[in-house]
Amino acid sequence: MFNLKKIKPSTYILPQEGSMLVPGLLIASEEQLRQEELTKPLEQVRNVACLPGILGYSIAMPDIHWGYGFPIGGVAAMDAETGVISPGGVGYDINCGVRMAIVPILFRDLKEVTKQALLDAIFRLIPSGAGRGSSKAKNLSDSDYVHLATQGARWSIEQGFGFAQDLDHMESQGVLEEADIRAVSLEAKNRGKNQLGSIGSGNHFVEIGEVKEIFMPDIAKAWRIESNQTYILIHTGSRGFGHQICQDFLNDFMQKGWAKNLPDRQLVAAPIQSPEGQQYWKAMASAANYAFNNRQQILHGVRQAFHETCAMAPEKIHLIYDVCHNIAKMEHHVVDGKRMKLCVHRKGATRAYGPASPDLAPIFQKTGQPVLVPGDMGRASYLMAGLGNPITWCSSCHGAGRAKSRIQAMQEWKKQGAVEQMKKQGVKVIAHSYRTIAEEMPDAYKNVDIVVNATQEAGLAQKVARLQPALVLKG
C-alpha cells in the first residue's frame, strides 16, 4: 500500500505523492513492516509531510503509533522563518520526558523488606494518579510561575530540590529560554498550581531496577554506570498545566482558520513568525520548564525515599540525564549544504546529539547525548548514546510504543490478577488505580528490544545498557 523503499538498514523512504511537500522516512525492522498497525500511523506521516515549510522528511521512529494529528514517534523540522508550528506536533503533555539516575548500591544487596519499604516510601512521597497533586505542596503563585518559567529546573534547585550539578545532566540544562508566562492562560496556571512533584496517570511512572547488561563499557564508565547497580527512571511531563496550554492554542488556531487546506484538521498550525505562533512558542516553553521542574522535584522525592530506607545520602544519587520527548525546539542543522535554523517537532521522539555537539555539556561531548528508552514494566528499558544522525535531525526513538489500546488492555486484564502476574515476573507494582496497572501491562507494548535494535541498526543511537525493572509506581 505504501510502496516503501529501503535505502539502508532499518531505513525506508515513503514516496512523495499528492500534496506531500517532502517524502516520508520510516525507521523500522523488517519484522515491524509486516504489522498491520503501521497503516494508520503512516497515513499520519503522509499528512505531516503536507505542512508548510517542512524540510527533509516527515519521519517515523520504530515505536510509531497513532496520535493526535502527528503520529507518536514522529519528527518534523520546519524552516524557522517560513514554516509552521503545530501543537499536535508537540502533544498535549508538553515536555513529557524521562530522567535516569544511578544509586551506588548493587540492587541484589537490597533485602526484600527494604525493597517493599522503598516502594511504599516512594508511593507516600510522590503523588500519583489522574488529576492528583500534592496537598502538602505550596500552591504556585504568580511570582512562582514567573521564576519557574524564566529559570527552568534551576528554580527548584534553588528551592532545595536537588543540586546545582544536576543541571549539566539535563537537556538544554533544564530550561527553554523563550518561555514567557504572560502567554499562559489563568486556567492553565490554576490546573498546574499544586501539581509540581507529581507523576499523573496513564503511562507515567517511577521505576527502580537493576543495570542488567552493559554494551559500551567505555561510555558506561564515563557516565559512572556499572553492572548490577540500582537505577531510577522517572517518566512524566507538564501535567494539567501543559495539557491546558495545548488545548488553549488548538482552540485558538482552529478559530483563526489555521487548519484550512490541511489533510487533517488536527494538524492545525500557525506560521512560526506570526503573533499566534510566537504566543504558542512562549507558552509551550513555559510548560517545558514546568516539566523540567516537575521531574526535578520527583527525583528529590525518590532521593528522600532512599535516604529513609537505605540511609543513602541524597547527593550520592547521581543524575545521568533528563530528556524531552514531546517538544518543539529551535536548532541549527545542515540542509542541502547550508546551515539553517529549524523548528524541530519531536512527538514521542528523543533528541540524540552525537559526540562533539557544542550543545552538550562537556561530559557528553566525547560520548554523545544519553538517550533514555523506557520499555514496559515487565521486560526492559534501555540507555543509549546518540550518534547525531542528520537524516532524522539527530533524533531517536523514545520508548517501546503501544501495541494495544488502553481499552483493549483493560478488557483483557480486568478480570485477571495483573498485580499477581507482575509479581511472578519479579516486579512489585503499586498505583492508586488497578485500572492503570491493567492498561500498562507489558503485553500492551511493543517489544522494546526490537525497537532499540532498529534504532541502532539505522545509526541513530547505540545501546549502552539494558535495564531490568523491579519496583514500579504507576499513575
| CATH number of domain containing 444 | 3.90.1860.10
> Does residue 413 register a pLDDT over 90?
no
- Give the model's confidence band at 417: pLDDT under 50 very low, under 70 low, under 90 confident, else very high: confident
Region 145-151 average pLDDT = 95
Contacts of 450-454 with CB under 8 Å at 24 or more apart are 450/29, 450/31, 450/32, 450/62, 451/62, 451/63, 451/373, 451/375, 451/397, 451/399, 451/400, 451/401, 452/373, 452/382, 452/384, 452/397, 453/29, 454/10, 454/27, 454/28, 454/29, 454/32, 454/62, 454/397
Percent above pLDDT 90 for the chain: 84
Region 91-101 average pLDDT = 98
Half-sphere exposure of 97 (CA within 13 A, CB side): 35
Helix, strand, coil shares of the chain, percent, nearest 5, are: 40, 25, 35
Pick the range with the lowest mean pLDDT from 71-85, 155-169, 318-332, 411-425: 411-425
Instruction: State the CB neighbour count (10 A cutoff) for residue 162.
Output: 23
Region 255-281 average pLDDT = 96
Q: Distance between CA atoms of 90 and 429, rounded to whole angstroms? A: 30
> Does residue 136 register a pLDDT over 60?
no
Task: Please list, in sequence order, all residues whose beta carbon lies within 8 angstroms of the beta carbon of residue 187, skipping any fewer than 6 positions away.
Answer: 244, 248
Distances (CA, A) of 254 to 83, 273, 389, 392, 465: 18, 17, 35, 29, 44
Region 104-110 average pLDDT = 96
Region 96-104 average pLDDT = 98
> Does residue 3 register a pLDDT over 80?
yes
Q: What is the DSSP letter of 170?
A: B
pLDDT in tens, 437-460: 988 898 888 899 999 999 999 999
Burial of residue 407, with CB atoms counted within 10 A of its CB: 0-12 exposed, 13-18 middle, 19 or more buried = exposed
Half-sphere exposure of 87 (CA within 13 A, CB side): 30
pLDDT of residue 131: 57
User: Which helix (H) or strand (E) is 13 found in, with range?
Assistant: strand 11-14
- The residue among 76, 75, 91 whose CA lies nearest residue 202 is 91
Burial of residue 29, with CB atoms counted within 10 A of its CB: 0-12 exposed, 13-18 middle, 19 or more buried = middle
pLDDT of residue 137: 56
State the chain's mean pLDDT as an integer: 94
Pick the range with the lowest mean pLDDT from 78-92, 230-244, 269-283, 393-407: 393-407
- The residue among 369, 373, 372 whose CA lies nearest residue 388 is 369
Locate all alpha helices (DSSP H) within 261-399, ordered by sequence: 275-310, 362-365
Q: Distance between CA atoms of 282 and 271, rounded to whole angstroms? A: 14
Pairing of strands 381-386, 205-214: unpaired
Q: Distance between CA atoms of 284 and 179, rounded to whole angstroms? A: 7
pLDDT of residue 397: 97
> Does residue 138 register a pLDDT over 70?
no
Region 367-388 average pLDDT = 96
- Give the model's confidence band at 406: pLDDT under 50 very low, under 70 low, under 90 confident, else very high: confident
Number of domains in the chain: 1
The catalytic residues are 398
pLDDT of residue 415: 66
Full residue range of the structural domain in which residue 268 is found: 5-474
pLDDT of residue 313: 97
Q: What is the DSSP letter of 84?
A: E
